[in-house]
Structure 1
Amino acid sequence: MPQRPSTSTFANFQRPLYLWNLMIRDSTNNGFFTETLKAYSFIHHSGLHGSTFTYPLLLKSCANLLSIPHGTMLHGHVLTLGFQADTFVQTALVDMYSKCSVIESARKVFDEMPQRSVVSWNAVISAYCRESLMDKAMSLLKEMLVVGFEPSSSTFVSILSGYSSDLNSSEFLLWQGMSIHCFVVKLCLVCFEVSLDNSLMGMYAQFGQMDEARKVFEFSDEKSIVSWTTIMGGYVKVGSIAEAFKLFHQMQHQHIDIDFVVFLNLISGCIQSKELLLASSVHSLVLKCGCDEEDSVENLLITMYANCGNLTSARRVFDAIIGKSVLPWTSMIAGYARSCHPEEALGLFRRMIRTEIRPNGATLATILSACADLGSLSIGQEIEQYVFENGFELDQQVQTSLIHMYSKCGSINKSREVFERVKNKDLTLWTSMINSYAIHGMGNEAISLFEKMTTSERIKPDAIVYTSLFLACSHSGLIEDGLKYFKSMQADFAITPTIEHYTCLVDLLSRVGQLDLALDAVEAMPPEVQAKALGPLLSACRIHGNIELAELAAAKLLNVSPRNSTSYVLMAHLYNSVGKWKEANTMRNWIDGKGIVKECGWSQVQVSG
């Protein structure tokens, strides 16, 4: 292992420059970037000047340390020494500013370069891609081609990585990514450059195009561990858990070394599938391969067991972690909260704050959710006091959870207070307040807030906020508004209705007695969402005493979901309400005969402590 240079190494100012350069080269190549800059400081104060060999190494050290102060100081020295025409020095400057996210300075140095290399172009393109400024990156790529430079594989790796990290996936971005793929094939770079193949797979996986990603994977001449984890992660992302595990078994048969990232993908798959036997098998492999001490793996194991309904195993993993950070505490608290054990979540939170570990925004948001489930306004107020005392009053995730907690605990005025005091509100915060109005039956207030969000604040709505808006219209009987927004969602914002939207639409029509229209709406829905939408219709038939339509809805629902106890119970209650005792008894006998267990409904709210 290379030895870190000591301060005494730099004590002899009388060394010639070439020896200093060798020392700087060695410390930089071995990753001792701080020592590189210290060595330069000794050189500079001794009256020596760096050379065109020295400054690229120094600027590389600044880039790795993300040290703009040192980088700008070196830029000044470069200008003083007249190295503006040196392509290597100027490219190193561009790369330094690029990696430190000072894109304007990177572009300015690049534009003023008398001569450029492919590496210079790549540095600026990479800077734009790192900040997801894909339009500017593509524009620079076109300019690069016009002036006669042929892009390298690194050029395309940067661009494809930019598409892979862009959270605002769209068909246009996918089309651009596919165009890059075509260009790469034309230049005969694909299948021979493993990093480029991995970037192509990552881009396709980001857009959910796993057939295309798999083609790149299969045709790749060389597959690294990154290739395997990229394709596996893509399958997990689109919910093809079985395919991800097939790839894992293929890796085992080919004796490919497995790292902890592979297990992150497998555990994420188990979190989605919620299959306890599969989860236990993966955990056994994690222990066998010695990856159980990775922080990210430990946290996901806790979440995995909690999602599979095995809180005992989740707690066992949590208790076995030595030197817990805030992450496993948050994961275990979230496991209790999401598994309807809010009291255990609060107990663990109280234990946590008695240690030296301080909760983060995610921890507080989770525990506020537990308070909402408990209906405990007093404990929620204690958490809010903790929020202010520990500087989380500007954390929008925490404030969003506060709005939700106060709303679920029956204090809509406190929800509004929290909402009003937050500046620079994001979409999630607006959605939380609109949803709070919805569950309190304040439809007009919800609509007014939605209009303010989209018109005055010009915030683009998403599918989630529309669900809250439809819920508000449904609870307040605002049928015309609900139908208007259902059409507007698709026409104005190109949002495809989800199961939740269809269910809200049926609920809206059913609540105001428009049962025939509600049935028409159900029959117009895709078959896979009809089962969830028929439930509200059946419930409304009971309220309005429409037996004929209820029997039709029940027949449809039992056909697609024969073991749904709700359908039988609703029909039994409906028959009882109109004196059809024989039919009601038949429904109950069917429940017993099919071995269906009716789930108990419950809710709670704190009253007088």
Structure 2
Amino acid sequence: MGVKADKYTFATVLSMCSWELLDYGRHVHSVVIKSGILGWTSVVNSLITMYFKCGCVVDACEVFEEAEEGGTCDYVTYNAMIDGFASEERSEDAFLMFRDMQKDCFGPTEVTFVSVISSCSCLRAGCQAQAQAIKMGLIGCVAVNNAMLTMYSGFGEVYEVRDIFERMEERDVVSWNIMISTFLQENLEEEAILSYLKMRREGIEPDEYTYGSLLFATDSLQVVEMIHSLLCTSGLVKIEVLNVLVSAYCRHRKMKSAFQIFSAVPYKNLISWNSIISGFLMNGHPLQGFEQFSALLRAQIKPNAYSLSLVLSICSSMSAMSHGKQIHGYILRHGFSSEVSLGNSLVTMYAKCGSLDGALRVFDAMVERDTISWNAIISAYAQHGRGKEAVSCFEAMQTTPGIRPDQATFTSVLSACSHAGLVDDGACIFYTMVKAYGILPSVDHFSCLVDLLGRSGYLDEAETVIKDGYLGAHSNMCWSMFSACAAHGNLKLGRAVARLILERDNDNPSVYVLLSNICAAAGQWEEAANLRDMIREFGTTKQPGCSWIRT
């Protein structure tokens, strides 16, 4: 049409280019060079912003260096570079650019300080930037103060956050949100609620982030219900908040409320579906969770790796291997096979559904493995009573570069040793955990050790572990010991352990049932009869054993 593009046209077009349009952005860059308007600062700034937005840091730096040599930089150029480095989490580069900006006699602006302070990866640099902002008289700027609040909150400096917040002459909703989220991340829920109430009294209207933070962190069902009511009256029904509200009700085991909210969401996104599926799974309703996953597929929403790991966990809990195999097929067909988390979930699913061979095939086919992968296969061996293979797998794990056993690793391998009666291996592994890896044994580790010794008849040694352990006579360890006493008919020790358990849980009829069995096995019929009478007083009768197997 004969209309010639100018610097404003190019700047506008470049600002619209994101990662998906990178090739087009590069084409515009070449046209800019040919048109001879690369000397215009606004075009240079747009190019730098475009390249950072697309993650092309090297290209952005080349544009800046050419502009610097050509003398076409201004304070906006430096701000674009500092903001770009901050967005790429390159705090040192951002701070160096901040210094170079001042060397070139460009005074930092509010935008500069927001970017610099936001990028700080160490507290000292943040304090320096703060001091300079104060010196330049920017302490009254809300955006700069909010950046300082965010920076100190990230370092867990609650006192500093509170001090800056209280000194602020002007606060906006972002200021209050940072204060509330800081209290929540430090488990100061009451302070967060009080801040919210004060925010309302000062006439600041909460936004979705305010409610989302409170819902995400609160342990109080009353607070969740209060926020739900406020959302209904305020009309703030953005999907991000509703998704968090669904998760909050799921966390409090209120699945009816969670599902009602989920069902009322008009345009559900993947997070909505993942929230309700996860809720059904963690609240013991795997079938409903699977039904929602099927509904997700019918809605033509593509699941992500997290969605698929959830449904694999559902298959594991229901021992539904046929469904698990279908999900495995979906993973292979839709390009998820390289996802380590899904490989781990598949190993667990096959193991829990009774197919150790299936678990091994998946594990062997994994191109990349992490600690959880090794834990999953060791646990699979343990579940199938293959103690020696579990130990061998643990030894192979120790020699794998970049892989380090964690607490869960030792729980699995010690459990495998316990069920296989591998006393020497188990004791050696326990020692390795403490001495070689510096892992402080947890209740689960001590329980596995007590169970290992008890099952193999080393009751005195197991008793010593309980008495000498820094955790004391924890109920899990006592129950492992109690079961060993029953298995080996040790009445004297069984009575002593029963007393320890009853000191903490004196209304547990299972103690009397097991102790009566030990007495009967030892020929102490009168004592066994007395214990049976006590059981009847509890109104407890032994239920016939049964097994549920999904086919």
2:22 corresponds to 1:60: no
2-structure distance, mates of 1:570, 1:118: 79
AA at the equivalent of 2:88? E
Which residue does 2:146 correspond to in 1?
A: 198
Partner of 1:50: 6
The one of 45, 52, 65 equivalent to 1:91 is 45
Name the counterpart of 1:310. 254
- Contact kept, 8 Å, 2:277 with 2:292, in 1: the verdict is yes
1:255 and 1:342 map into 2 onto residues whose CA distance is 45
Kept after mapping to 2: 8 A contact 1:267/1:304? yes
Structure 1 counterpart of 2:34: 80
- Match for residue 132 of structure 1? 89
Contact 2:47–2:60 (CA under 8 A) maintained in structure 1: yes
> Which 5+ residue runs of structure 2 have no aligned equivalent?
none
Deviation at 1:415, TM superposition (A): 0.9
- After TM superposition, the score normalised by the length of structure 2 is 0.80
Question: In structure 2, what is the equivalent of residue 268 of structure 1?
Answer: 216
> Match of 1:258, as an amino acid?
P
CA pair 75-390 structure 1, distance change in 2 beyond 3 A: closer
- The corresponding residue for 1:30 is none
Q: 2:205 aligns with which of 239, 257, 266?
A: 257
Identity of aligned residues (%): 29
Deviations 1:198-217 (A, max 9, x none): 33443444455544443443
Q: 8 Å contact 1:125–1:155 — kept in the other structure?
A: yes
Distance 1:567 1:182, change over 3 A: farther
| 2:311 aligns with one of 347, 367, 375 | 367
Equivalent position of 2:378 in the other structure: 434
Per the alignment, residue 466 of structure 2 pairs with 519
Quote the Cα distance in structure 2 between the aligned partners of 1:600 and 1:260. 53
Q: CA deviation at 1:371?
A: 1.5
Residue 296 of structure 1 corresponds to which residue in structure 2?
240
Contact 1:372 1:408 in 2 (8 A): yes
Amino acid at match of 2:225: S
1: CA distance, partners of 2:531 / 2:171? 59
- Measure the CA separation in 2 of the matches of 1:278 and 1:601: 42
Q: 467-476 vs 214-223, which deviates more? A: 467-476
1:521 and 1:387 map into 2 onto residues whose CA distance is 49
Alpha-carbon spacing, 1:127–1:420, altered in 2? closer, same or farther (3 Å): farther
Aligned to 1:482: 429
**Which range moves more in the overlay, 550-559 or 592-601?**
592-601
CA distance 1:598–1:158, shift in 2 (3 Å): farther
Q: What is the deviation of 1:404?
A: 1.3
Q: Does 1:379 align with 2:333?
A: no
- 1:222 alignment partner, one of 166, 170, 195: 170
In structure 2, distance between residues paired with 1:596 and 1:119: 78
1:129 maps to amino acid: A
How far the C-alpha of 1:408 sits from its partner, in A, is 0.6
**Structure 2 residue 181 is the aligned partner of structure 1 residue 233:** yes
**Cα gap change, 1:507 to 1:184, in 2 (>3 Å):** farther
In structure 1, C-alpha distance between the alignment counterparts of 2:130 and 2:86, rounded to whole Å: 21
Partner amino acid for 1:79? I
**Contact 1:409-1:605 within 8 A present in 2 as well:** no
1:244 aligns with 2:192: yes
Q: What residue is the counterpart of 1:328 in the other structure?
A: 272
CA distance in structure 1 between the partners assigned to 2:96 and 2:465 by the alignment: 51
The question of 1:182 aligning with 2:130 is answered no
**Structure 1 alignment gaps of length 5 or more:** 1-10, 14-45, 164-172
1:419 maps to which residue?
363
Distance 1:399 1:341 in 2: 24
State the distance in 2 between where 1:599 and 1:234 align.
51
| Closer/same/farther in 2, CA of residues 496 and 263 from structure 1, 3 Å limit | farther
1:111 to 34, 57, 65: 65
CA contact (8 A) 1:191 1:219 kept: no
Instruction: State the match for 2:232 in structure 1.
Output: 287
1:71 is aligned, of 8, 25, 29, to 25
Post-superposition offset of 1:265 = 1.8
Q: CA deviation at 1:458?
A: 1.8
Question: C-alpha separation between the residues in 2 aligned to 1:456 and 1:520?
Answer: 37
Distance 1:354 1:110, change over 3 A: closer
- Structure 1 residues 428 and 111: CA distance shift in structure 2, 3 A: farther
> What secondary structure sits across from 2:215 in the alignment?
helix
Q: CA–CA distance in 1 between the matches of 2:145 and 2:441? A: 35
- In structure 2, C-alpha distance between the alignment counterparts of 1:142 and 1:530, rounded to whole Å: 58
Aligned-partner Cα distance in 2 for 1:134–1:454 = 35
Once the two structures are TM-superposed, the CA of residue 55 in structure 1 deviates from its matched residue by: 4.1
Deviation string 1:23-72 (CA, Å, 9 cap, x unpaired) is: xxxxxxxxxxxxxxxxxxxxxxx4x3534x55444433335x76322322
- In structure 1, C-alpha distance between the alignment counterparts of 2:141 and 2:528, rounded to whole Å: 69
Q: 2:291 aligns with which of 316, 333, 347?
A: 347
Q: CA deviation at 1:360?
A: 3.7
SS of the residue corresponding to residue 69 of structure 1 reads: helix
What is the CA RMSD across the aligned residues, in angstroms?
Answer: 4.2
Moved more, 459-468 or 325-334: 459-468
